[in-house]
Amino acid sequence: MQNRKAAYDPHYLFLFLSLSFVVCASVGAEDLDYWQIVLTYDSEELTLMEASEMGPMRKKVRTPGLLGAPGVIECRAEWIDESGDLLATTEAQIPVGRRVAETSSDHSTEFMPQAGVIVIRIPGPAHGTTPRSIRLVPTQVKKFGGIVREDHKAFRELGSQDLLIENLKRVGQTSKVEGPISATKVRDTGDDGNRFVLVFVGDGYTAGNLSSGDYDTDISNLLNSFETNNSWSVFFDGTNFYRVDVESNEEGADEERGPGEPSPPPVDTYFNTSFWTQGLERLLDSDTVGEMRAIMAADDLVGVGVWDQIVMVVNSDKYGGSGGDVVVTSVNPGAATAIMIHELGHSFVGLADEYTSPYPGYPPEDPEPNVDCDTFLPMIKWHV
């Protein structure tokens, strides 16, 4: 396997982010009807939880976490009406797998959870039509290191079943999210329909943490890191930020312990985050219920299809996090901002980890924009 050559050129990254924004601002979806599809999966089945029409936006419609997903299942989406007739056929890309927060001695690790939530945004039937089900027929599977596991019956049987639309949401329709919850737009640079929209949600913050300003301070610190980070500073004026306030019954997260220590009692938090997910200490992640709650909160309080990325901020000083359609990070004083910025580099712009040595589970190609296997200067992709 070839080494993956790092391209840590700040000017290149600035250019890439700037171009990403230009695409968002200029490639419109006014002439297409887009839908957001929320799926849950376990080792046995894939379930369609919600199909929602999206309102018109000037920015490019994005499937959250698609660019940085360890695996992608490309599908043909067949939309079927009540009579069993085909309404429309479109294309869909399903991101699968999540990433683990890296350490100085251990590169990022990709893994496929046994259960989880997937959000996809795809063209669908025109406004006014009523689909009853969707059939997702795989056309290609792009997988790194076997990330699409063979023991996931749910993905093996794609195409052999119709996913029923039990919960159909129309544009402007909302559903009440459980729990004491509210949202504040903490940075407004313009119309959400023409901006990258990031939503912070907090887990393990009690009523006391919220009233004392602890949560607000943590979010402000993370928000400030975008403006001072070289990779995001030029993109900062094209990004809107929301803070969703959620009250948990207890502080922290499950399994806040070191290696060999006994497990403490479970912590009662709104999004059910836990360390030691998949047996890895630094893997801080939410479960299916928690991730579904985060997506519902962003949909209801910010807008279906309006938000581009959710960042779940966990009230714990212990190092940990994960990446995907929902980025998770603790508030570890030395690492919270680094985890968040790093994972957003994967999920939002599809950047690769910049390692100079081979690492397992990856093909020799270099599809990401910031790495190249070539060492001959005229052949390197960012050579001008």
- Supply the pLDDT for residue 353: 53
Identify the residue with better confidence: 267 or 233.
267
- For residue range 262-312, what is the model confidence (pLDDT) as tens digits? 999 999 999 999 999 989 999 999 999 999 999 999 999 999 999 999 999
Mean pLDDT of 337-355: 70
How far apart CA 245 and CA 4 sit, in angstroms, is 41
Q: Phi/psi at 296 (nearest 5 deg)?
A: -60, -40
Percent of the chain at pLDDT exceeding 70: 75
How far apart CA 193 and CA 135 sit, in angstroms, is 29
Which CATH architecture is the domain 181-347 placed in?
3-Layer(aba) Sandwich (3.40)
The answer on pLDDT for 334 being more than 70 is yes
Sheet hosting strand 309-314, strand order edge to edge: 110-111, 98-100, 321-323, 326-330, 309-314, 196-203, 239-246, 181-187
How far apart CA 97 and CA 310 sit, in angstroms, is 16
DSSP symbols for 83-99: TS-EEEEEEEEEEE-EE
What's the burial of 38, exposed, middle or buried (CB within 10 Å: 0-12/13-18/19+)? buried
Residue 201 tokens read as 């949600």
- For residue range 87-127, what is the model confidence (pLDDT) as tens digits? 999 999 999 988 886 665 555 578 888 899 999 999 999 87
Answer yes or no: are the C-beta atoms of 310 and 327 closer than 8 Å. yes
Question: Where do the domains of the chain lie?
Answer: 24-171, 181-347
- Supply the pLDDT for residue 144: 52
- For residue range 171-203, what is the model confidence (pLDDT) as tens digits? 766 666 666 688 999 999 999 999 999 999 999
Find the helix or strand (DSSP H, E) in which 358 lies: none
User: Helix %, strand %, coil % for the chain, to 5?
Assistant: 20, 30, 50
- Supply the pLDDT for residue 152: 75
The answer on pLDDT for 18 being more than 50 is no
Count of Cβ atoms closer than 10 Å to residue 163 Cβ: 20
Answer yes or no: are the C-beta atoms of 314 and 214 closer than 8 Å. no
How far apart CA 372 and CA 361 sit, in angstroms, is 17
Selection from 250, 255, 262, 263 nearest residue 315 by Cα: 250
Antiparallel, parallel or unpaired: β 5-6 and 371-372:
antiparallel
